[in-house]
């Protein structure tokens, strides 16, 4: 599937793979609130309140993304970046898609 577009020229930090959404994220732990901020270079920036200790930030990120996309936690998969701020996630068949992400077509 084609990736989305950012500013019309470069590839967006998401792509559709069938009904699944693959996200390239830059995660900021220990934030004041959980939020999808928008573009951060070639990634989507996400702020989460959890500290990056013993996997708590990753667990919190999965719960936050599940709520944001309207899916159960089991439909959110961390594909890479377990120990860093740059991560890749799969959202299986999201029920809703927040801005700035858009479905193709």
Burial grade of 26 (CB within 10 A; 0-12, 13-18, 19 or more): buried
What is the rounded average pLDDT for all residues in the chain? 89
C-alpha R_g of the chain: 13
Helix (H) or strand (E) holding 86, with range, is strand 86-91
Does the pLDDT of residue 4 top 50, yes or no?
Answer: no
Q: Could you give all domains of the chain from N- to C-terminal order, each with its CATH number?
A: 12-91 (3.30.1200.10)
Locate tokens 């193709």: which residue? 104
What is the per-residue pLDDT across 9-40, written as a single tens digit (0 to 9) for each?
557 899 999 999 999 999 999 999 999 998 99
Of the candidate ranges 7-11, 49-53, 86-90, the one whose mean pLDDT is the lowest: 7-11
Does the pLDDT of residue 75 top 90, yes or no?
Answer: yes
Q: Which phi-psi region, left, alpha or beta, contains residue 93 (left: φ > 0; alpha: ψ -120 to 50)?
A: left
Does the pLDDT of residue 89 top 60, yes or no?
Answer: yes
pLDDT attached to residue 105: 61
């Amino acid at each position: 599937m084609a990736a989305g577009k950012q500013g019309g020229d470069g590839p967006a930090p998401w792509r559709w793979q069938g009904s699944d959404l693959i996200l390239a994220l830059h995660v900021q732990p220990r934030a004041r609130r959980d939020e999808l901020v928008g573009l951060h270079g070639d990634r989507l920036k996400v702020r989460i309140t959890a500290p990056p200790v013993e996997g708590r930030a990753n667990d919190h990120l999965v719960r936050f993304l599940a709520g944001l996309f309207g899916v159960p936690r089991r439909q959110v998969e961390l594909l890479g970046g377990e120990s860093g701020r740059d991560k890749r996630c799969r959202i299986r068949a999201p029920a809703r898609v927040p801005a700035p992400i858009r479905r193709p077509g």
